[in-house]
Chains A and B, each alone.
Chain A
Amino acid sequence: MTRRVPLRAIAHARAGDKGNRSNVAVFVYAPRHYAAIEAQLTPERLEAAFGRLLRGPIRRFELEHLGGLNFVMDEALEGGVNESLNLDSHGKSWSFLLLGLEVEVDD
């Protein structure tokens, strides 16, 4: 049966920054959920969800054997750690922006 769950229930994530580029890597806890995030967490989905935050392109890299996806977002940090006026100038909290999305899983 299919159910809709917060991504945080099935996956964990970490955000990093280099210059004005942010990356968020997300890993499923159970390998059986990898197909769901691979199909549903598309760059288009992130663009739609976080529109004004992300000013540049999003690339996605897949590491299926580790159950992980790596999202690389250009011009995502409002100028980068030294320029941004965001209180979180590193984008450390972007991982939880992603984990707040919902995904459909078959269990």
Chain B
Amino acid sequence: MTIRLGTGAGFSADRLDPAVDLVARGRLDAIVFECIGERTLAFGHRDRMADPEAGYNPLLERRLRAVLPLCVVHGTRLITNMGVANPRGAATKAAEVAAALGLRGLKIAALEGDDVSALIGPDTPLPDSGVTVGEVGRPMVGANAYLGADAILPALEAGAGVVITGRVADPSLFLAPLRQAFGWAEDDWPSLGAGTLVGHLMECAAQITGGYFVDPGHKDVPNLAYVGFPIAEVGADGRAVITKLADAGGLVSERTVKEQLLYEVHDPAAYVTPDVVADFSRVEIRDDGADRVAVAGAGGRPRPAQLKVTVAFDGGLLAEAGISYAGPGAKARAQLAGAILEERMRALHGCNAPLRIDLIGVSALHATALEYPSDAQDVRLRAALRADSREQAELLLWEVESLLCCGPAGGGGYRGQITPSVITHSAYIDRAQVQPRVEIIET
């Protein structure tokens, strides 16, 4: 038996058309929409605080309207963490969408229990940061434990066609349907390692089909405007082939698979999830025909006793503003504008908050590492401030805008924005303290 898994989203704002195409033509057993990042989860908490019915992925309704009818026709289960900070609210919305589409008898499961904010206090250590929660000195916005495939399994066993979760480790969203289909036990570490490899390769969608990969003239990829999302054909022994729809854009090659194998991986021999400590250090990657790559050889050791918890804090306001200079002397004029701005923020206004000034076109993203030789004639001054108050954030925008008349010659294109920000740290708690719960709504 081979199970066919597809990826419908690799991050919160991922494209929808490749997901629809994959459900329509991929003959999938399950499709996974992975939509939570460190930042999106914290924003979900804040949305829910403002409105108790909010806090889930804003694209949930659009995505479900587009794919749910196709999922029902093809018998494809939909598994997603689009519940973000409110899985039950998301499941309620999903039931509304299903009813509006005339889909009857569909079981929609909400997985809760990842919200562990009640277990986190001022004395909770944040070992990776070397401080406690209280010592961060900022209001806590939320705390979510990474649940594993075992938390999803009861929903699948109850026959849910749609499973909506909050924070679950990304590969676990894929491991759960494999465990259910193949009956892999929760201590079958080699199989769990193999299934985790499949999940890890699939979780970022287009990142294994040519997205985040193409480098013109070095690594070319066809038809990236219509890049297809990946399919995994997985056997009961954990061996898998990564592929895509033949006529979808993009590319699955040994190179795309290698890059994704180590994406966000530290020690390849110890990739830690709630399910298993997976070993990717001996993974074999082999071409298996056009846009088909076979993977095998992942291992696994017993899962960790503790679950990782992302603790989010209010990060204040991020103020960003820019102004551009072009033509002869652009770099010198932008540099002078930066010096004026820094003098006024620091000396005149006494602002001590973190301030960064970059010259886009000269040295920005890599500015703290090296300076590229540049005779750029189109340079943008960019200033970023982590503000203590809204007044201070607005001050940065005002100061950059005032450079239009009070700064160097030929400055134009002022833009400024203020965005709320969050800061995250990691805590670790015993898994016995975390109690996942599944609730099912039938339409």
**Choice from A27, A82, A86 contacting B365 with Cβ under 8 Å:** A86
Assess whether B262 is in contact with A25, with CB atoms less than 8 Å apart: yes
B51 at the A interface (CB under 8 A)? no
B104 at the A interface (CB under 8 A)? no
* Chain B, Cβ-Cβ closest to A15: B263
Give Cα A54–Cα B370 distance, bound, in whole angstroms. 11
Interface size class of B (residues with CB under 8 A): 35 or more
Give Cα A93–Cα B360 distance, bound, in whole angstroms. 14
Given A14-B212, A86-B356, A79-B423 contact (CB < 8 Å): yes
B386 at the A interface (CB under 8 A)? yes
Digitize A8-38: 1 where CB-to-B-CB distance is under 8 Å, 0 elsewhere: 1000111011110101010101000000000
Give Cα A97–Cα B382 distance, bound, in whole angstroms. 20
Known: A25-B259, A82-B42. 19 other contacts (CB 8 A): A8-B218, A12-B259, A13-B259, A14-B263, A16-B262, A16-B264, A16-B265, A17-B264, A19-B426, A23-B266, A25-B262, A49-B369, A49-B370, A53-B368, A63-B268, A79-B423, A86-B356, A87-B382, A93-B365
Separation in Å of the B131 CB from the closest CB of chain A? 13
* Chain A, Cβ-Cβ closest to B355: A85
Digitize A81-107: 1 where CB-to-B-CB distance is under 8 Å, 0 elsewhere: 111011110001100010000000000
CB-CB < 8 A to A51: which residues of B? 369
Nearest 3 pairs of A and B residues by beta carbon:
A25-B262, A16-B264, A53-B369
**Choice from B42, B259, B267, B355 contacting A14 with Cβ under 8 Å:** B259
Give Cα A86–Cα B366 distance, bound, in whole angstroms. 9
**Choice from B39, B268, B315, B422 contacting A61 with Cβ under 8 Å:** B268
CB-CB < 8 A to B386: which residues of A? 83, 85
CB-CB < 8 A to B65: which residues of A? none
A70 at the B interface (CB under 8 A)? yes
CB-CB < 8 A to B135: which residues of A? none
Digitize B251-267: 1 where CB-to-A-CB distance is under 8 Å, 0 elsewhere: 00001001111111111
Separation in Å of the B233 CB from the closest CB of chain A? 21
B306 at the A interface (CB under 8 A)? no
Given A16-B263, A63-B268, A88-B369 contact (CB < 8 Å): no
Give Cα A58–Cα B413 distance, bound, in whole angstroms. 40
Most chain A beta-carbon neighbours within 10 Å: one of B128, B263, B264, B360: B264
CB-CB < 8 A to A85: which residues of B? 318, 354-356, 384-386
CB-CB < 8 A to B425: which residues of A? 19
CB-CB < 8 A to A50: which residues of B? 369-370
Interface size class of A (residues with CB under 8 A): 35 or more
Digitize B327-359: 1 where CB-to-A-CB distance is under 8 Å, 0 elsewhere: 000000000000000000000000000111010
CB-CB < 8 A to B219: which residues of A? 12
B38 at the A interface (CB under 8 A)? yes
Give Cα A51–Cα B365 distance, bound, in whole angstroms. 15
* Chain A, Cβ-Cβ closest to B259: A14
Give Cα A63–Cα B254 distance, bound, in whole angstroms. 14
Assess whether B423 is in contact with A82, with CB atoms less than 8 Å apart: yes
Assess whether B263 is in contact with A25, with CB atoms less than 8 Å apart: yes
Assess whether B366 is in contact with A81, with CB atoms less than 8 Å apart: no
* 26 A–B pairs (Cβ distance < 8 Å), ordered by A: A8-B215, A12-B219, A14-B213, A14-B263, A16-B264, A21-B266, A25-B262, A25-B265, A27-B255, A61-B266, A65-B282, A65-B284, A70-B265, A70-B266, A79-B423, A82-B424, A83-B315, A83-B423, A85-B318, A85-B355, A85-B385, A86-B365, A87-B360, A87-B365, A88-B365, A97-B369
Separation in Å of the B368 CB from the closest CB of chain A? 5
CB-CB < 8 A to B318: which residues of A? 85
Digitize B376-398: 1 where CB-to-A-CB distance is under 8 Å, 0 elsewhere: 00000010111000000000000
Assess whether B366 is in contact with A52, with CB atoms less than 8 Å apart: no
Digitize A51-69: 1 where CB-to-B-CB distance is under 8 Å, 0 elsewhere: 1111000010101011010
Give Cα A90–Cα B267 distance, bound, in whole angstroms. 19
